[in-house]
Amino acid sequence: MTQLALARKWRPRRFDALVGQDHVVRALTHALATQRLHHAYLFTGTRGVGKTTISRIFAKALNCERGVTPEPCGVCAACQAIDADRFPDYVEMDAASNRGVDDMAALLEQAVYAPVQGRFKVYMIDEVHMLTGHAFNAMLKTLEEPPEHVKFILATTDPQKIPVTVLSRCLQFNLRSLPPALIAEHAARILEAEAVPYDRGALELVGQAARGSMRDALSLLDQALAYGAGEVREAQVAEMLGLVASATLRELLEAVAAADAPAALALADRLAGSGASLESALAALAQLVHQLAVLQFAPEALEPQTREALAPLAARFDPEYLQLAYDILTHARRDLPLAPDPAVGFSMAVLRLIAFAPQTTAAPPAAVPGPSAAPRNEEGGEAPVTARGESPAARAHAPSATDGEARRAAFPSPDRAQGGAEGTASSEATDVASLPADGMPAKPPSTEPSGAREPGALPPAGRESPSGGVDAWHEWFAAMSLTGLAREFAQHCICRAIEGDTVSLLLDATHRVLLDLHPECVDRIAEALGAVLGRRVTVRVTPAEVADTPAQREAEARRQAHRAAVSRLLAHPVTQRLIERFDATLDETSVTWPTPSPPSGGTRHVQ
């Protein structure tokens, strides 16, 4: 025996069985209950959202033997005949195949006769926008002043193509596309009634693939039942649709969170080899990142089971990084056709997610051995040490010692070019060759006594910090795991005092807007500082005129590096010959030099 398709078997036969079109149901049921019936209705909306179904229910409501009612009985002869598509007074016409003026004239000729069996004659014209201009003109008069026993129901997926003269004669209802969650919920009820085993994740995939159409969703369920031998399982549905299972996507983001590039690339290769659409995989990843962001900001917007499944993964990412990850994935999807190969484009998107992750702790590649001790500057002092490892993006952009040697060999100083010993370009400029690997000039040795205070710093009211207040704050700032606004907030502060477990900070008064608009950053700073100090602390912030904040030190370091680069370039013999020959001047704003990576890890910036 032939199995009836789910879309036909589960077509709603009453207004209260319709899904997702409450606004249309409310208007029609109120009109039926109050007997305020119009002679022409226009239903618009995408395919499979219920235009024809509502038309049939409305026809039953008008012709039910119990009278005009918003709740047709469904058991009388008229109701059953309409459901079986054999009621003589309910006519469905497909305007795509009957679009001419002759077809319309024949329909209008029949409309003048009284109903054969029912109370009203109902003419349902589907895809009405396909009618020709002459056919529209032919129906205008009848549509405006039809016989009392005639009701017109027009349906279309493209209302822009309908003449305004027709629109003005109808009550228009726009049927909404159904959200994936609602489709999945309705599909679950159907499968439970059919006693079919299913996975919730499989229904979510069907809901997304249906793109707002319930009929498409039920057709996909029929296909999934055939594919899965009577079961609807997520892995099988994903394979059928050429999509990626949500478990695989979560596994991929777990690898990104752990900065496990080999595992992430292995998953990317497996997806490419499975034949799944990589564009769909990027879209699904972006959707998963969106769910993680929603879970962090508004968890009540997600279903409880979704919250439970995604909570461990959401805890591994900063909110700021999820915004960046969404941009990376959407841009990668847009640029995928430009990649040498879709698999290459997908792999690069995965590597970009890892490269920009702020909490990357992956070890550097084997070809670039990591330092065995804390880096030291030219004076022998320790450079600030970060609590987290530098991200792959920062390592990729960081000039190594080998890079520095190659740069010096390709761009020798004037003394070396003339065969002499290498020296400085001038008595005032810092020689680039003597800079550390990050391209920054070494901090000159202090001429103040070791116990002198840093400018702008007040002595701690509690215990004395080992570096005199400000220096201690710089060490702590470098070690704190801060990102986004919290890091921006902290780098404009200095430490004023420590009293027990209370740390008093002074915020640069020019940036007090950070305290006014984002006071929550103080709690994030306190949490990060407590992790560095090994105990819970309370942070108090006061706006004040301060100096020698981490931001100010970084800006001064950039200025020194730029001056050193300009001096080196001006001292080079090639530059001197160009200036002499062409009477040229150097545009100092065009001189670039790599600046050090931010203390919290991240990409290097170019001034």
DSSP string, 309-346: HHHHHHTTS-HHHHHHHHHHHHHHHHHGGGSSSHHHHH
pLDDT band at 105 (very low <50, low <70, confident <90, very high): very high
Residue with tokens 């990576």: 597
Three-state DSSP class for residue 44:
strand
Q: Quote the CA–CA distance of 153 and 155 in Å, as a whole number.
A: 7
Q: Are 74 and 14 in contact (CB under 8 A)?
A: yes
Structure tokens at 180: 């994936």
The answer to whether residue 430 scores a pLDDT higher than 60 is no
Give the span between the Cα atoms of 320 and 478, in whole angstroms: 19
Does the global pTM surpass 0.85?
no
Q: What is the average pLDDT value for the chain, to the nearest integer?
A: 81
Angle between helices 278-297 and 304-314 (to 10 degrees): 90
CB 360 within 8 A of CB 259: yes
Average pLDDT over residues 302-313: 88
Q: pLDDT at position 55, please? A: 96
Instruction: Return d(Cα 473, Cα 503) in angstroms, integer.
Output: 10
Residue 417 tokens read as 């070019």
Residues present in the chain in total = 607
Return the structure tokens found at 46.
């995408």
Tens-digit pLDDT profile for residues 555-573:
888 889 889 989 989 999 8
Band of residue 287 on the pLDDT scale cut at 50, 70, 90: very high
Is the pLDDT higher at 63 or at 427?
63
**What are the phi and psi torsion angles at 505 (to 5°)?**
-115, 150
Backbone angles phi, psi at 184, to 5 degrees: -65, -40
* Contacts (Cβ under 8 Å, ≥6 apart) of 266: none
Query: What is the per-residue pLDDT for 606?
Result: 37
Query: Residues 496-546: pLDDT tens digits?
Result: 888 888 999 999 988 888 888 888 999 999 999 999 988 999 999 999 998
Percent of the chain surpassing pLDDT 70? 78
Q: Which of 490, 489, 465 is nearest to 477 (CA)?
A: 490
Q: Is the pLDDT of residue 547 over 80?
A: yes
* pLDDT at residue 593, rounded to an integer: 67
State the pLDDT confidence band at 207, using cuts at 50, 70 and 90: very high
Percent share of the chain, pLDDT over 90:
55
* SS3 at position 521: helix
∠556-559-563 over CA atoms, to 5°? 140
Q: Are 398 and 437 in contact (CB under 8 A)?
A: yes
What band does 594 get if pLDDT is binned at 50, 70 and 90?
A: low
Q: What domains appear along the chain, each with residue ranges and CATH number?
A: 6-174 (3.40.50.300), 242-363 (1.20.272.10), 470-547 (3.30.300.150)
User: Which class for 38: exposed (0-12), middle (13-18), buried (19 or more C-beta within 10 A)?
Assistant: exposed
pLDDT tens for 108-124 read 999 999 999 999 999 99
Q: Which two tokens stand for residue 149?
A: 């026993």
Q: Residue 3's pLDDT is what?
A: 77
As a whole number of angstroms, the distance between CA 31 and CA 45 comes to 21
Residue 390 in this model has a pLDDT that exceeds 90: no
For the chain, how far is it from start to end, CA to CA, in angstroms?
A: 76
**Nearest to 564, CA basis, from 595, 537, 602, 538:** 595
Among 1-10, 476-485, 587-596, the range scoring the smallest mean pLDDT is 587-596
